[in-house]
Amino acid sequence: MNMSDLLLAAEHTPLAAAMRGEVGGEWLFPIVETLHVISLAMVFGSIVMVDLRLVGNTSRDSAVSKLSREVLPYTWGAFVCAVVTGSLLFVSKAHVYFYNLQFQLKFLCMLLAGVNMAVFHFGTYRQVLEWDEKLPPPRAARLAGALSIALWIGVICFGRWIGFTT
Amino acid sequence: MLHVAHHWANSIAGTALSGWFQNESWVVPTSQSIHIASVSVVFCCAVMISLRLLGLSASGRSVSQLVNTLVPWMYRALGVLLLTGIVQTIAEPVRQFVTPVFWWKMFLIICVLTLTIWFARAVRSNAVEWDAAARPAGAKWFALTSLGLWIGIVFCGRFIGYTWELYQ
């Protein structure tokens, strides 16, 4: 079974049919899509809060480690919701989305954002206690924060463009 | 009433600016992308403040600290939302004005704005009292109302695109 068969099999599930509005109401897709928007709003909003602190721009009265502990649980909770709702949207037209350029670029941006986060977390962040309240934060932290904001804006733009190209 | 709105929509659609926005296929998706990024900022700030007021967040920050940090960001993002919203309305006036969902959205926005401005002022003028209580009195209904309004606004925003053709 190759990729194409797998995608077609996903499209032929009852769940995918329901998402396309063939079973039940035609409102399932927009409702799931709105829940996806709410999830991504929490993901992006909370990531930007931490990133702007890493850049040294806002929440300057909170230590980086404290702010991360406060905000990042929201990010991960919302990320799980975004994955679940996103998967539902995906199966409705798996074949179309998978080969859509904007969809692929969106996932490339997310992959790069993940790599950026991992490099920062296992690098500069290990010594966070040394620079927790220092302003401006070290160069590597500022770079990681700025890069993260740019990549997540890319995720949003390509995500929105999927709707105009499929 | 929607009849009048349809008339306005047609006059906006006839302007040169609207024509230009319609011809440049990148304008609407770009504006919508900026709109979503700004929605994220406003929505996330509202959720963080509400959860803090409900005593559900692990935040070490006091209510006034949170409000002083986040509310200015909400106002900035709301400015961007207004601008991009105007661009989208000029580009596709009929899509916006014919569906009642657009007008519900505007109504909910006015409600949540009034509520937020009132709340931010109340916290600023009495920071000591708000910070002293773990779960400030009266905060619960504000938190729940504002959460409900914001979720309603996102739903309306997304549903404009799915309902307008029904009212064509």
Predicted confidence (pLDDT) per residue in B62-119, tens digit: 888 889 989 999 999 999 999 999 999 999 999 899 999 999 999 999 999 999 999 9
B40 and A40: CB-CB below 8 Å?
A: yes
- Map tokens 């969809």 to a residue: A103
Residues in B closer than 8 angstroms to A27, CB to CB, are 162
CB B101 within 8 A of CB B158: no
Give the pLDDT confidence score for residue B128 in this predicted structure.
82
Choice between A111 and B136, residue whose per-residue pLDDT is larger: A111
A58's tokens: 């806002």
CB B144 within 8 A of CB B112: no
Average pLDDT over residues B17-35: 95
Helix (H, G, I), strand (E, B) or coil at A64: helix
For chain B, the residues whose C-beta falls within 8 A of a C-beta of chain A are 25, 28-30, 32-33, 36-37, 39-41, 43-45, 47-48, 57-61, 65, 69, 73, 151, 154-155, 157-159, 162
Long-range CB contacts (within 8 A, 24+) of B101-104: B101/B156, B101/B159, B101/B160, B101/B163, B102/B156, B102/B160, B102/B164, B103/B5, B104/B152, B104/B156
In the predicted structure, residue B54 carries a pLDDT above the cut 90: no
- Alpha-carbon span B38 to B50, nearest angstrom: 18
Average pLDDT over residues A14-39: 92
Give the whole-number percent of chain A exceeding pLDDT 90.
Answer: 76
Chains A and B: how many Cβ contacts under 8 Å? 82
Phi, psi dihedral angles at A138 (to 5 degrees): -60, 155
Peptide bond into B72 cis (omega under 30): no
Partner residue opposite B159 with nearest CB, options A30, A38, A160: A30
- Alpha-carbon span B154 to A34, nearest angstrom: 7
Partner residue opposite B44 with nearest CB, options A34, A46, A61: A46
User: Which pLDDT band holds residue B135 (cuts at 50, 70, 90)?
Assistant: low
Rg (C-alpha) for chain B, rounded Å, is: 19
The DSSP secondary-structure symbol of A23 reads S
Cα A33 to its chain centre, rounded Å, is: 14
- Chain A, 70 to 99: residues with Cβ < 8 Å from chain B are 70-71, 73-74
